[in-house]
Amino acid sequence: MRGLGKREFSLGEVYAHAEALARLHPQNKNVEPKIRQQLQILRDMGFLEFLGRGRYRAL
């Protein structure tokens, strides 16, 4: 994933950026659920593959 600098990553690695995302979107009080939702959307669109146990691969 571009922002993380690698193709495979964990949900925890994405959560590490939650504070920065919260600053960018101060109206969103549910940043971690939104992260999960967006990962699911990207998976459904074919941009990500869910590998299980909180691991993803960018396609």
All structural domains of the chain with their residue ranges:
8-58
- pLDDT (tens digit per residue) in 31-45: 999 999 999 999 999
CB crowding 18-48: b at 16 or more within 10 Å, else e: eeebbeeeeeeeebeeebeeebeebeeeeeb
Give me the percent of the chain exceeding a pLDDT of 90.
92
pLDDT value of residue 1: 58
CA–CA dist 55, 31 (Å, integer):
19
| pTM of the complete model | 0.88
User: According to CATH, what is the number of the domain 8-58?
Assistant: 1.10.10.10
- Location of structure tokens 């995302």: 21
